[in-house]
Chain A
Amino acid sequence: MSKQSTNSLEVRILNFIQNGTGNFGKLLLETFHYQREHNKAYGNYCANLSEPKTWQEIPAVPQTAFRHFPMRCFSENETIRTFRTSGTTGEGFGEHHFRSLDLYESAARKGWENASLPDRIEIALLPTPKEAPHSSLSCMAGWLAKSDAFFINEGVLQLERLRHVLNLATEPVTLFGTALAFLNYFEWLESKGYRHQIPNYSRVVETGGYKGSGREIPKAELYHKFETALGVSAQAILNEYGMTELSSQFYTRGIGNTHIGPAWARAMVIDPVSGHEVPDGEQGVLKIYDLANLDSVSAVLTRDFARRHGAHFELLGRDPAALPRGCSRNADETLQRKNLK
C-alpha cells in the first residue's frame, strides 16, 4: 500500500470517527490488510492463519505483543511518540508507537463527546503530558484539560492544592484520574477529617487502575467513597476503559452498567476454549477492534474478563487467577519479574 493510499485510509478513518461516514467492517478489513503488510511481527503471525472474510475473523494480537515486538506499520525513525504501559509489577511494559497522534486525538475527543462529557476537564489527577510523555492517559488529558488542571507533580499528588481548588469551585467541574489517585486523595481527606460537597452536575471520570500499588478495592466501595468525600453520586461517575495498546475508549456510568464503545471501536467477548464469541450474557475474554489503531494493530486481545451484553460488555476485570496459583504473591512477582530479565 502506498503512502498516498495509507493517507487515504487514515483520512477515511478520521471521517468515520468524526462524521460516521463509511463502513466499519470494510474499513477494518482494509486496515487489517495494511497492517499485515506493514507491521512485520503481525504479518508473520498472520502468515499461518486463515484469511479473514469478515472483520470478526481478523486475528487479534495478545497485549504481550506490544512488549516483545515493535508493533508499528512504519519505520522506527518516523516515530513521533511512544506510549508505555505502566509496567505493573511482574509484567514489564509494552510500547505503543505513533507516527501521528491525529487518530488518537480524534478518537479521544469524539469518544469523550459521545459519552456526553463536558468538553473541558477542570481537574486531572494526573501528571502533565510534559512530565509523563509516555503516558497515553496524560496525553489524552492534555487535549481535554488546561495545563494548570494537572494535580500530580513530580509523581506526587498535590493534596492541599486540590482541596483548595475543590473548595473554591462554584460551577460544576469535571474530574479525571485513576482510581488509585482518587483513593489516595480520599484517604488523605478522611485522615484530616475533611470532605467536599462539589457543585451539582459535576462529573467524575475514573479510569480504574491500581497498578503497582498492590491494592484494589471493589468499585462499589470506591464509588461510596466518592459520595462521602466529594458528594457525587455514582450516576455522576463514569469509568473509562482504555489501555495504552488502544487508541479508543469505552465508557460506563455508575455501577453495574455496560461499557459502551464508539462506532469505530468494537468489543467482542471470546470463549477462551473455543476462541469464538460467547452467547449473549456469557462471560469470556475481551477482544477489542479499534480502527484508530491504524498504524499499529487494530485487533487486540486484552487480559480482561467481560460479560457480553449484545454489542456492549460488562467489565469483570482482570482475571484474579492470572498469577500462578499456589505460590505466594511475592513469589509470583519475583518469578515474573525475573522472567523479564
Chain B
Amino acid sequence: MTTRSIADALANTAHEFPFLGKITAQDLLDIVRMELGHEDILDGFAPYGKHQARAFAPETILHIVSGNTPHAALQSLIRCLLLNTHNLVKIPRTGLREVEEFTQKLPAELQAKVEIATELTDAWITQAGAVIVFGSDETIHAIRSRVPASKPFFAHGHRVSFGIVYEDPTFASTVDAAQDASLFDQQGCLSPHIFYIREQKPGDAIRYAGQLAKEMEAFQEKHPRGALSAEEAAEIFHLRTSYRFRAANDVRVACWESVGNDAWTVIYEDDPWFVASCLNRVVYVKPLPDNLETFLTPVRQWLGAIGIWPCEPRFVENLATLGASRICAIGQMQSPPFTWHQENSQTLANLVHWVDFEPSSPIESKS
C-alpha cells in the first residue's frame, strides 16, 4: 500500500472512533509531509532540498501501551501504520478494547500489520526495530532493561497538565474545563490536575470552582465515571476528608463533591503551588499567581499540556518556555492533533532512517 492509500484507510477507520477527533486522510498525509518533507517519501525517492531522499521505517515496531488512555495508544498505532510498518502492540492484561476494535475495523491488508498481545515476550523485543513505551517510569525502566541499548527506544512517561483561565467573566469555560478534567477519568497525561484562575476581582477563583463543580456534575450525568478500585476510592475518601477538615478551619480552602458517591471532587485552594491530583475526576482550582513559573518548579520536567482560556496568542509567549509540549484551548486538552510534538519532538522523523539520492540531473516531483 502507498502512504496515500494507507492514509485513506486509516482515516476511514478513525472516523468510527469519534474520541480520536476528526481526522482526514490529508491530516495524516500532512504529518508525513511536515515531518519527513514529502507525502510520498516513504514510497520512493522524493525531492528533498537540492536532492532526493527516501525514508525507511523499521520493518517492525513494538508498542507497549497503558490502559490509561486508548487515545495515546491509537495515535501511536496510527502513526506507525502510516509508516507502513508491522506493529506489535502489547496491551494491558485487562485488554484495551478500543485498540482491539480499531484493528478489527481496518482493511485486511492493514489488519495484517497489527498483532496484539497481553504479554510481552522477548521474541517480540528481538523482532522489533524500535520500541515505543507508554506508562509509568517504573514500567519504562523495567522494559528499557529488557531492550538492547542499540535499539531505538521511545518512552512516554506520565505527564501532568493544567489549565489557566485568563479572562472569563461569565465562567463559560467551566463546561470545557469539566470535560477536560473528566474525560478518560483524568488518567491521561493531558488531563488537567489544576485550573489556575486569573482573578479580575477577589473571589473569582472560588466562584469559578463552584461553577466548575456544577459542570462536573453535569458531565457526570451524561458520562458517568468508570468504576474505581478500592485503593482509588480510598484515595479520594482520604483527600476529601482531609480537605473537608481544612475547609472547616481555613477560608483559603473549600471543596465541592458529588453527593452520595465519589464521582467528582473540586477543591479550591488559595495556594499557588502545583499539586498533583489523585485523578479520577478530582480537580483543583487556584488563583493564578503572578510568578506561576516558580510554583510549577517541581513539575516543570513533567509538564504535558497547558489549556488556556481564551486561547489567544497574547498569552502564549510566557508559557512556551515552561516545558509543556502543547498549549491549547481549554476544552481541547484531550484532543491533541496528530501533528502534536509529543515529548516536545517529532514522532515519525525519529523512527525512520534515510537514503539520499543525488542524481546528476534534477528529477521531477511526483506530486
Contacts and interface: CB of A to CB of B under 8 A. Distances in A.
Contacts of A326: 66, 68, 135-136, 158, 187, 189, 279
Interface string A58-72: 001110110011000
Given A68-B246, A272-B233, A319-B234, A324 B277 contact: yes
A285 B278 contact: no
B298 A334 contact: yes
B248 A48 contact: yes
The interface size bin for chain B is 35 or more
Contacts of B242: 62, 64-65
B330 interface: no
Contacts of A45: 244-245, 248-249
A324 B231 CA distance: 11
Contacts of A1: none
B237 A64 contact: no
A319 B297 contact: no
B235 A273 contact: no
Given A273-B261, A339-B273, A41 B238 contact: no
Nearest to B135: A326
Interface string B257-274: 000011000000000011
Nearest to B191: A326
A283 B230 contact: yes
A263 interface: no
Contacts of A322: 231, 234-235, 238
Most B CB within 10 A of own CB, among A301, A330, A335: A335
B235 A335 contact: no
B137 A330 contact: yes
Contacts of B275: 335, 339
A324 B276 contact: yes
Contacts of A285: 234, 237-238
B138 A328 contact: yes
B158 A65 contact: no
B241 A62 contact: yes
B56 interface: no
Contact of A327 (B66, B160, B244, B261): B160
A313 to B, nearest CB: 15
Most B CB within 10 A of own CB, among A47, A326, A336: A326
B299 interface: yes
Given A272-B230, A272-B233, A272-B236, A327 B245 contact: no
A253 interface: no
Contacts of A37: none
Given A273-B261, A319-B231, A321-B232, A44 B248 contact: yes
Nearest to A319: B231
A335 B230 contact: no
A169 to B, nearest CB: 43
A305 B234 contact: yes
B166 interface: no
B158 A327 contact: yes
A303 B238 contact: yes
Contacts of B231: 305, 319-322
Nearest to B299: A335
Interface string A307-320: 00000000000011
B323 interface: no
Contacts of B298: 334-335, 337-338
Given A45-B245, A285-B234, 17 more contacts: A40-B249, A61-B245, A64-B245, A64-B246, A65-B242, A69-B245, A301-B241, A305-B230, A319-B231, A321-B231, A326-B187, A327-B158, A327-B160, A328-B136, A330-B137, A338-B273, A338-B298
26 contacts: A45-B244, A45-B248, A64-B246, A65-B242, A69-B245, A69-B249, A272-B237, A273-B233, A285-B237, A301-B238, A301-B241, A321-B229, A321-B234, A325-B136, A325-B279, A326-B68, A326-B187, A326-B189, A328-B138, A328-B157, A329-B138, A330-B137, A331-B299, A331-B302, A332-B276, A336-B276
Interface of B: 66, 68, 135-138, 157-158, 160, 187, 189, 229-238, 241-242, 244-246, 248-250, 261-262, 273-279, 297-299, 302
